[in-house]
Amino acid sequence: MGALMFSGTRTRDGLARLAILLSTLLVVACGDTQMAFFSGDDRAQTVSLVREQAWFGGPWQTTLIVANSPKCQRRYSLEGLSADELGMDVYRPEPSVFIFNTGKRWYVTELQNCGFQTYKKPPPEPGEIIGNFRMQDGNSRFLAKNSTNTVARGAVRPPAISR
């Protein structure tokens, strides 16, 4: 009878060890999330660029979030962006309208109604460049153009979230 009691204890200890090992592997396998943002012409208007990686070493998904609180907020997936590099110039042709360029890809958003559109070909005059989204020290950041220099603003790196 004593042998049966101890074999059940060993099985529970083994399962507990296996559960600890598996949970450790899950935590290590978590990906990453990076955010950078800037405010539009009004403090209620924001544009955020979010990069998410579901697991460590997995592909990056890039999303543009445009918001005009409390009126609207929309998420737009940006397909085909480089997995390791982030480089997107931001232009303002008129108030509350922003044009984004990364390589051969051009996008436009307007913040009054949170609209978004992809350009088939580059716009002839995208407007004044106000800054760019870039990777800096391993984090995505919005670098605003100043008359004297470039200043880092709005960089956030939230903790990794397991899925």
Helices and strands, counts by H and E, the chain: 1, 12
As a dihedral over the C-alpha atoms of residue 121, residue 85, residue 64, residue 91, rounded to 10 degrees, the angle is -50
For residue 32, the cross-strand partners are 53
Domain boundaries, the chain: 31-156
* Whether the Cβ atoms of residue 53 and residue 60 lie closer than 8 Å to each other: yes
pLDDT in tens, the chain (163 residues): 555 555 556 666 766 665 565 554 444 456 677 878 788 777 889 999 888 888 887 877 889 999 999 999 999 998 877 656 678 999 999 999 999 998 888 999 999 999 999 988 888 889 999 999 988 887 888 989 873 333 334 443 333 333 3
Give the pLDDT score at 86. 76
Select from 50, 9, 10 the least CA-distant residue to 33.
Answer: 50
Contact assessment for residue 58 and residue 73, using Cβ atoms and an 8 Å cutoff: no
Degrees (nearest 5) of the Cα angle 57, 75, 79? 50
pLDDT value, residue 27: 46
Put simply, whether the predicted model's pTM sits higher than 0.75 gets the answer no
- From the centroid of its chain, how far is CA 101? 17
Q: Which residue has the tokens 């059940």?
A: 8
pLDDT of residue 147: 36
The pair phi, psi for residue 4, each rounded to 5°, is -65, -40
- pLDDT for 11 equals 65
